[in-house]
A = this chain, B = another copy of it.
Amino acid sequence: MSDVPKSHPRYLSLTLRDRIVEGVEKGITSIHGLIAHGRGEAFDYLIGEKTQSFATNAICVAAAMLKLSNHPVISVNGNVAALVPKELIELAHILKAPLEVNIFHTETGREEKIRQHLLKNGADNVLMPSQDAQLSYIDSNRKYVHPGGIFIADVVFVPLEDGDRCEALRKMGKDVVTVDLNPMSRTAKQASITIVDNVVRTLPLLCKEILKLTNDSDLQNKLTHYNNEDILQQALQYISRSPDG
Q: Which residues of A contact B (CB under 8 A)?
A: 3-5, 7-10, 17-18, 20-21, 24, 31-32, 34-43, 45-46, 105-106, 139-141, 163-164, 182, 184-186, 233, 236-237, 239-243
The residues of B that contact A141 with a CB separation of less than 8 Å are 3
Looking at chain A's contact residues, the main secondary structure is helix
The copy count of this chain in the complex is 2
The residues of B that contact A9 with a CB separation of less than 8 Å are 163-164, 186
Q: Are B40 and A8 in contact (CB under 8 A)?
A: no
The residues of B that contact A237 with a CB separation of less than 8 Å are 242-243
A142 to chain B, nearest CB (A): 10
Interface residue from B20, B39, B163 paired with A42 (Cβ < 8 Å) = B39
Q: How far is the CA of A237 from the CA of B241 in the complex (A)?
A: 9
A4 to chain B, nearest CB (A): 7
CB-nearest residue of chain B relative to A22? B31
CB-nearest residue of chain B relative to A244? B233
Q: How far is the CA of A4 from the CA of B164 in the complex (A)?
A: 11
The residues of B that contact A38 with a CB separation of less than 8 Å are 34-42
Interface residue from B3, B10, B239, B243 paired with A186 (Cβ < 8 Å) = B10
